[in-house]
Amino acid sequence: METVASPGRTLALLREKGLVPRKSRGQNFLVDSNIVRKIAAVAELNPYDIVVEIGPGLGALTQELAYRGGLVIAVEIDRDLLEVLRENLRDKGNVRLVAGDALKVNFDELVAGFLENAGGRLPTYKLVANLPYYITTPILMHLLTGKFRINLLVLMVQAEVGGRMLAAPGSKEYGALSIAVQYYTEAAAILKVPRTVFYPRPEVDSVVVKMRPRTTPPVQVDNEDFFFRVVRAAFNQRRKTLLNSLGGLGWERDLVLKAMTDAGIDPRRRGETLSIEEFARLSNALQRRVE
């Protein structure tokens, strides 16, 4: 079957179906089969793998995942595209197309629905996506915090978002997203992808980030919700000292100060300089003081 990932084929498909890529849905299609192969290779697929894809679009990546993997379950929000996908992938018996909003999908239930006869425990599965840019962070947070049985994530994101995901303490890009990504996964940037391989061409380059969800967190956190509240407060007003930004959560200054002393953290520091380990110590100490 013809490869979707070429400028000619993508344009022809859109023209044939009278479709115009929707900016509001983050539709930038991959038109370079070489890059598609490289992304799929990052997922290290074998014929037994179950792969979930978010936003299959016209099927450029889906084709390659279906070729390399076992079962491919693709969730697309745009019903016009689903029609094209059905046609494009009709010779791929191992692809299941699902209409839906990735933000609302319980991925474990989705996969379980296609394995009805498997019995027993749900197997782990991989998740691969060229993410729609307008909701990258919410989707990422859904995937990270959902406690799904995902054992590998391969996500293409805007280069700037990739920078924030992987940033180290003290850098401009370091923030709540860096901490969430690094707390829940072991993550690395694998491949830079220039804007020229998309149609329509976005204004920025992209990066493929590979993430392995951790089986145990890298630091000891007593209460994850509390930890992330502290993290978000610390980054909400980046220019303030920790003491002042945590005051924003409504606790007495004196209590916050004592918790900082307990945790061995100088109250004059700014949130953006704290490592994940220090945030964990601080949130554990704070929780003990305020509850």
Nearest distance, CB of residue 195 and ligand SAM, angstroms? 12
Distance (Å, whole) CA 51 – CA 223:
31
Q: How many CB atoms lie within 10 A of CB 214?
A: 12
133 vs 183, which CB is nearer to ligand SAM? 133
Q: Which stretch binds ligand SAM (CB under 6 A): 22-30, 118-126, 178-186, 224-232?
A: 22-30
Is residue 64 a contact point for ligand SAM (CB under 6 A)? no
Distance (Å, whole) CA 281 – CA 264:
8
Number of H helices, E strands in the chain: 12, 9
Q: Which residues pair with 173 in a beta bridge?
A: none
**Of positions 13, 27, 64, 197, contacts ligand SAM by CB under 6 A:** 27
Nearest distance, CB of residue 11 and ligand SAM, angstroms? 13
Q: Is 76 annotated as a binding residue?
A: yes
Distance (Å, whole) CA 201 – CA 209:
20
Please identify the residue of the shown chain whose CB is closest to the bound ligand SAM: 55
Residues 82-101, mask of contacts with ligand SAM (x by CB under 6 A): -------------------x
The answer to whether 282 and 230 have CB atoms below 8 angstroms apart is: yes
SS3 216: coil
Is residue 158 a contact point for ligand SAM (CB under 6 A)? no
Closest Cα to residue 102, out of 110, 91, 94?
Answer: 110
Is residue 260 a contact point for ligand SAM (CB under 6 A)? no
Is residue 161 a contact point for ligand SAM (CB under 6 A)? no
Distance (Å, whole) CA 62 – CA 44:
15
Is residue 69 a contact point for ligand SAM (CB under 6 A)? no
Binding site for ligand SAM (CB under 6 A): 25-30, 54-57, 60-61, 75-78, 81, 101-103, 130, 132, 135
The annotated binding site for S-adenosyl-L-methionine is made up of: 28, 30, 55, 76, 101, 130
